Amino acid sequence: MTKRKDQIKLGAFLLYTGHHVAAWRHQDSMQNTELEDYIELARIAEAAKFDAIFLADGLEVRLENLDAASRKAHTGLLPFEPITLLSALAATTTNIGLIATASASFTEPFNLARQFASLDRLSKGRAGWNLVTSPDPGAGLNFGRENQIAHRDRYAMAEEFADVVLGLWNSWEDDAFIRDRENGRYFDPGKLHVLNHQGRYFQVKGPLNVPRSPQGHPVLVQAGASDPGRELAARTAEVVFAAQITLEEATTYYADVKSRMPTYGRSPDDLKIMPGIFPVVGRSEAEAQDKFEALQEKIHPEVGVDTLSRFSGGFDVSGHPLDGPFPDFPETNGTKSRQRLVVDLARRENLTIRQLYLRIAGARGHWQVVGTPEHIADVLEERFDNYGADGFNVMPPIMPGGLRDFAELVIPELQRRGRFRTDYEGRTLRENLGLKHPGGPPKAEAPASIRSESLTG
Amino acid sequence: MTKRKDQIKLGAFLLYTGHHVAAWRHQDSMQNTELEDYIELARIAEAAKFDAIFLADGLEVRLENLDAASRKAHTGLLPFEPITLLSALAATTTNIGLIATASASFTEPFNLARQFASLDRLSKGRAGWNLVTSPDPGAGLNFGRENQIAHRDRYAMAEEFADVVLGLWNSWEDDAFIRDRENGRYFDPGKLHVLNHQGRYFQVKGPLNVPRSPQGHPVLVQAGASDPGRELAARTAEVVFAAQITLEEATTYYADVKSRMPTYGRSPDDLKIMPGIFPVVGRSEAEAQDKFEALQEKIHPEVGVDTLSRFSGGFDVSGHPLDGPFPDFPETNGTKSRQRLVVDLARRENLTIRQLYLRIAGARGHWQVVGTPEHIADVLEERFDNYGADGFNVMPPIMPGGLRDFAELVIPELQRRGRFRTDYEGRTLRENLGLKHPGGPPKAEAPASIRSESLTG
C-alpha cells in the first residue's frame, strides 16, 4: 500500500440529536434544536476545517407504526428544511461547504436550480446539491401521487432532472452583467443562454433568474448505489456519499464507479467518493466502547424492529421472534441498497433479529468504527490509500459531543500524519474539494442532451 | 378626521438597486449585490423599527423585448431567491419580520408550507408568506406549461393551495414534542394532526415534517386587487399589500375588503391593509424634486415604452408615437389591476405615451410622493386616519440611500407625532403587527374545507 499524495476530504453529516437512533435519549444530546445549535455545529466543523457540512432530507413523517415513530427523533421530521437552514448558515460561516439533500421526485427543476444557485451565491460559491430520488410511497402521498414511481422511471426522471438543473445553472456567463450605466446596458444579451429543454419528463425554457456564483455552479453530489445510480454518478456527480461497510466492498465500488467515467469524457479526479463513517471516539478503547454501549442500551426494541422493517423495504419483521433468525423477504420497489445491506449483513454474520437491529439501528447501516483517535485514523488511512475512498462523510453518533470528539481528537491526528489540511485551500467548495470550475462558455459545458442556444448568436 | 389610537405599520420593500426603474444607472445605487448588501439593508430597516422587510418575486426573466430587457436591472432576474435570502437574514436580525413572495402557481403546497415553516422557526416566529399567482405566460414555460392558467382557475387553485398550506402548518400542536427520555417517547401521538386533504387541485396527506414556530405559523400576506383576490384576502389574508394611488381609491378599497371579513368569522383587525408608497424624500421640497428628476432623466425611452407594454398585459405600445395619446387596448388574461391602473391614469390626466411612461416606469404604478419628511408624514397620517391604510409598504426609489432617507428622516418625524413605535412590541411578526396567534387546537383553526383528523382520536 503506497501513501496517496492527495489529502483526505471530510464532510460533517449534521443530524440533530446525532446519528445513533437513541441519541436523543442520552443526556448529552441536543434538545429543542434552534438555529443557534446549528450555528454552533457549523462553527465546530469549520474550525476543524471540514470540507463541508451535509444535511440529509426526507419528504414525509413515517407513521406506519405510530408507536415506534413517536419513540424516535428521526421519523422524517426535521427541525429545519435543509436549503433554508444552510442559507441561514451561509451568513454565519465563511469557508465551509454547504451541501443539502433535495429530492428530484417531487419538485420542479426550475425551483430547485434557482434555490441552490441562490444558496451558492449567498455563500459565495460554497453550495452543493445532493440529488436523491424519493422511493418511499409515503412521500408521494404528500404530492398527490398515490402510486410511487417505478425504480427505473425514477432514475430516468432524475437523470433528465439533473440535466435541466445543470443547463439552467449555465444560463448566464460569468461576465454577463456589464452594468454599463453610461449607455444604459445592464447585461450583455450575447452572454445569455436560453436552455429550451424539451424532454420526456420536463419542458423548461429558461434562462434561470439568478446569476452564476464564484464557483460556476453548486457541486453535484449523489449517493446512488444501484446500477443506474452508479451510472448517473459517473456521468454527472462530483461527490458520491457511498455506504459500503467492508474495505473490499468499498474498493470494488470505488473502482467500478470511477471506471465508468471515461465513457462520459470525465477523469476519475472529477469525482470524490466519500463513504459514510459512524465513528465512536474514545481516548481509550474502553472509553469508546462505553460511549457506544451507553447509546446501544437505549434502543427501544420496538424502535429496533421497526428500523429493520423499514430497511427491508416495508417487510414487517415484528411478527418474528426477537432472538430467532432474520427471515427471507421479497425485494420491493424501495431503496435497493438498504435491502441488500440488511440481507448481506444478516447472512454474513448469521445474526438474530435483535443482533441485527442492534447493528443496523445504531449506525443505520453505515460503516461503524469504535475506538481511539489513532485507530480511527488508521482505518481511514487504510481505506483512503487502498482507493476505497477519497474522503469520508462523518456521521457523529451524538450531537454536539460526537462531532466535537472527531474535530478535537481525530482530525488533529490526521493532520499530524499529513493526511488532512490545516487550513482551507480556497473560498469555494470546489477549490477545497479539488474539483475544477465548470468554466468556459456554457455551450461547451452543457450535456449533449441539452440544446443550448444563444439569443443573439 | 379623528386620530386613530393604533400606530402605523411599516414594511420595507427591498429591491436591489431601488424601485425606480433607472435607479441602477444612478451613481449612488447598489451594484454587484452580495449578501452583505442585504444584511446592511436589513440592519437599516431593523434599526428604524420597521415591522418587516418584504421581497417580491418572479419566475421568469422577461425577454420578449431583449433590447429593453438588457437595459434594466429588473427583468425578473434577482440576485437571490427570496426564501433563501430571508433565511440568511434570519441569522443576522432579531426582531424584524421577514416576508417573502412565493407563487402558488408552480410549486407543491407541501414544499412551500415546509420552507416557510422552516424560515418561521429559523427566525423564531418572524416569517410571512406573500401569496401570489403567476399570470405571465412566460413563467409557465419554465414549468412545462405552455398555456397559462385562466384568471378564474388561478384563483380557485390559489384558494385551495392556501387552505392546504394553512392545514399543513397546523400538523403539530405547540406542545406535541414532549421528548420524554426516561420512557422513550419523543412526541405525543395525540398532538399530531394528519391533514388528508383531497381537493380539486391538490391531494396532500401530511403531516408537515417541521414543527410549529413561536408565532404558530407564518403571517399570510396577499396583494390581490381583483374581486376574487379581495375575497381570498378577506377570507385568509392577515396583511394586504395594496396598490391604490388616490386617497379615495384607498378608502374605498379598504372599506370593501374589511366589509367582506365578517362573513368568514373574522374581525377587521385581523387584517392589516398596507398600500405601497414610493417616497422621494428631501430635506427641502426642491431637494426632493431634484432627487426625483435625477432618476427620471435616466429612463431610457425603450425601457419606458416596454414598461407600458407590460403593464398593458402584453399590448405592444412601441408602434405608437411617443408624444401622441395612449391608445385603447383589449383586456387580456394578465394582471387585471395593472391594466386598469394604466388606463385609468392615462384617461384621468389625458397623458401622452411619454408622459404616461414617466409616471408609470418610475414608481411602476405605485403611489408616489415627492417631498419633505413633514409632507410625507402628513400624507401617511391622512391616509391612515381616514382608514385608507393600516400601514404602508415603503418602496425606496434607490437603494440603499432611499431606505436610509426614510429611516432617518420620515420615521423620526412619525415617532415625534406618536404615530410609529420607538421599539418593537415583541419578538414575533404577529406581535409587532398586532395580529393574533392562530393558537388553539388545529382542529378548530383549520378552514372548513380542510378535513383534519387526529391519528389517535
Q: Residue B341 pLDDT > 70, yes or no?
A: yes
* Average pLDDT rounded to a whole number, residues B316-322: 88
Q: First CA to last CA across chain A, in angstroms?
A: 53
Angle between helices B82-90 and A82-90 (to 10 degrees): 60
Q: Residue B448 has what pLDDT?
A: 37
DSSP B370: E
pLDDT (tens digit per residue) in A266-310: 999 999 999 999 999 999 999 999 999 999 999 999 999 988 888
Q: Kindly indicate the confidence band of residue B149, based on its pLDDT and cuts at 50, 70 and 90.
A: low
CA distance A107 to B111: 8
Kindly indicate the confidence band of residue B316, based on its pLDDT and cuts at 50, 70 and 90. confident
State the CATH architecture for B9-286+367-454: Alpha-Beta Barrel (3.20)
Reported as a single tens digit per residue, the pLDDT across A218-266 is: 999 998 788 888 999 999 999 999 888 899 999 999 999 999 999 999 9
Among the partner-chain residues A58, A88, A119, the one whose CB lies closest to the CB of B91 is: A88
**3-class DSSP state for residue B23?**
helix
Contact A39 B179 (CB under 8 A): no
Q: Is the pLDDT at B133 greater than 50, yes or no?
A: yes
Q: Report d(CA B335, CA B154) in Å as an integer.
A: 11
DSSP letters for A94-160: SSSEEEEEEESSSS-HHHHHHHHHHHHHHTTS-EEEEEE----HHHHTTTT-SSPPPHHHHHHHHHH
Residues across chain B: 457
Best B74, B111, B200 member to test A by mutation, with max A CBs in 10 Å, is: B111
Nearest to B58 by CA among B50, B42, B69: B69
Q: Tell me what pLDDT residue A333 has.
A: 63
A370, HSE (Cβ side, Cα atoms, 13 Å)? 17
- Mind listing the pLDDT tens digit for each residue in B425-448? 999 999 999 999 987 545 434 433
Tell me if B107 and A110 make a contact (CB, 8 A cut-off). no
Banded model confidence at residue B333, pLDDT cuts 50, 70, 90? low
Given a cut of 50, is residue A451 above it in pLDDT? no
∠ Cα B363 B17 B311 (to 5°) = 35
ipTM of the modeled complex: 0.92
> Minimal Cα distance from B68: which residue of A?
A185
- Is residue A396 predicted with pLDDT exceeding 70? yes
Question: Closest Cα partner for B258 from B241, B273, B274, B242?
Answer: B273
> Does residue B119 sit at the A interface (CB-CB below 8 Å)?
yes
Please tell me the least confidently modeled range out of A35-39, A280-284, B109-113, B339-343: B339-343
Q: How confident is the model at residue B452 (pLDDT cuts 50, 70, 90)?
A: very low
Res. A448: pLDDT tops 70:
no
For residue B434, the tally of other CB atoms under 10 A from its CB is 17
pLDDT tens digits, residue range A191-220? 999 999 999 999 999 999 999 999 999 999
Instruction: Go through chain A and tell me how many residues it has.
Output: 457
Measured CA angle at B290 (ends B287, B294), to 5 deg:
140
User: Above pLDDT 70, what percent of chain A?
Assistant: 94
A78 part of contact set with chain B, CB < 8 Å? yes
> Which 3 state secondary structure label does DSSP give A197?
strand
Give pLDDT, residue B335: 67
Residue B360 pLDDT exceeds 70 = yes
Predicted local distance difference test score (pLDDT) of residue A171: 96
| Alpha-carbon gap: B197 to the closest alpha carbon of chain A (Å) | 9
Q: How confident is the model at residue A147 (pLDDT cuts 50, 70, 90)?
A: low
Measure CA B253 to chain center: 17
Q: Is B147 on the interface with A (CB under 8 A)?
A: no
Tell whether A67 is within 8 A of chain B (Cβ). Answer: yes
Helix H or strand E segment including A86: helix A82-90
Q: Do A61 and B92 touch (CB under 8 A)?
A: no
Q: Among B24, B88, B146, whose Cβ lies nearest the Cβ of A179? A: B24
Q: Which of B27, B124, B185 sits opposite A71 (nearest CB)?
A: B185
More confident site: A456 or A216: A216
Residue A376 has pLDDT above 70, yes or no: yes
Contact A256/A453 with Cβ under 8 angstroms?
no
**Span B85-103, pLDDT tens digits:** 999 999 999 999 999 999 9
Cell numbers at A290, concatenated: 462505553
pLDDT of residue B454: 36
Are A80 and B25 a contacting pair at CB < 8 A?
no
Question: What residue of B is the nearest CA neighbor of A207?
Answer: B61
Residue A273 CA to residue A99 CA, distance in Å, equals 15
For chain A, the average pLDDT equals: 90
The burial class, CB within 10 Å (0-12 / 13-18 / 19+), for A352 is: middle
* Higher-pLDDT residue of A44, B229: A44
> So what's the pLDDT on residue B123?
98
| Phi, then psi, of A374 in degrees rounded to 5 | -65, -45
Mean pLDDT of A70-80: 92
d(CA B283, CA B295): 17
Closest CA relative to residue A56, chosen from A117, A20, A12, A89: A12
Q: What's the pLDDT score for residue B137?
A: 78
Name the residue of chain A whose CA is nearest to B206's CA. Answer: A142
pLDDT tens digit sequence for A152-195: 788 888 999 999 999 999 999 999 999 999 999 999 999 999 99
B20, B33, B77, best to mutate vs chain A, most A CBs in 10 Å: B77
Mean pLDDT for the stretch of residues B211-235? 91
List pLDDT tens digits, range B393-436.
Answer: 999 999 999 999 999 999 999 999 999 999 999 999 999 999 99
Q: Which residues of B touch A186 (CB under 8 A)?
A: 24, 70-73
Angstrom distances, CA of residue A114 to CA of A184, A218, B34, B162 = 27, 11, 16, 23
For B185-194, the pLDDT digits (tens) are: 999 999 999 9
Please determine, for residue A440, whether its predicted confidence score (pLDDT) is greater than 60.
no
How many Å lie between the alpha carbon of B210 and the closest alpha carbon of chain A?
6
What whole-number percentage of chain B has pLDDT above 90?
74
Alpha carbon distance A211, B120 (integer Å): 27
The partner residues of A216 in beta bridges, in order of sequence, read: A213
- Residue B3 phi/psi, 5-degree rounding, is -70, 130
**What SS3 state is found at B15?**
coil
Most A CBs within 10 Å, among B20, B122, B146, B192, to test the A interface: B122
Residue numbers in A near B210 (CB within 8 A): 77-81
Q: Distance between CA atoms of B242 and A98, rounded to whole angstroms?
A: 38
d(CA A164, CA A167): 5
Residues 6 or more apart in contact with residue B287 via CB below 8 angstroms: none
pLDDT at res. B307: 85
Contact yes or no for B143 and A209 at CB 8 A: no
For residue B39, pLDDT beyond 60: yes
C-alpha cell at A67: 408507536
Sign of the CA dihedral with A201 first, then A206, A210, and A211 last = positive
Q: What's the average model confidence in pLDDT over A59-66?
A: 90
Q: How far apart are CA A203 and CA B98, in angstroms?
A: 33
Side-chain half-sphere CA neighbours of B229 within 13 A: 21
Give residue B334's pLDDT. Answer: 63
Which CATH code is given to the segment(s) A9-289+364-454?
A: 3.20.20.30
The pLDDT of residue A149 is: 63
Q: What is the pLDDT of residue B148?
A: 57
Q: What are the distances in angstroms from CA B119 to CA A34, B126, B217, B307?
A: 12, 8, 10, 33
Strand locations in A229-380 (E): 239-240, 272-273, 276-281, 367-371
* The amino acid at B413: E
Which chain B residues contact residue A300 at CB under 8 A?
184
Q: Does the distance separating the beta carbons of B300 and A81 come in below 8 Å?
A: no
Q: Is B115 on the interface with A (CB under 8 A)?
A: yes
Is A40 part of the contact surface with chain B (CB cutoff 8 Å)?
no
Cα–Cα distance for residue pair A425/A92, rounded to 1 Å:
19
Residues of B in contact with A107 (CB under 8 A): 107-108, 111
Q: Where are the domains of chain B?
A: 9-286+367-454
Predicted pLDDT of residue B331:
72
Cell of A30: 441536543
Determine the pLDDT at residue B315: 82
Region B350-374: what's the mean pLDDT?
89
Judge whether B362 and B342 are in contact, CB under 8 Å: no
pLDDT greater than 70 at residue B44: yes
Quick check: A454 pLDDT over 50? no
The per-residue pLDDT for B440 is 53
How close A233 gets to chain B, by Cα (Å)? Answer: 25
Which among A70, A80, A115 has CB closest to B185? A70
- Please tell me the distance in Å from B354's CA to the nearest CA on chain A: 18
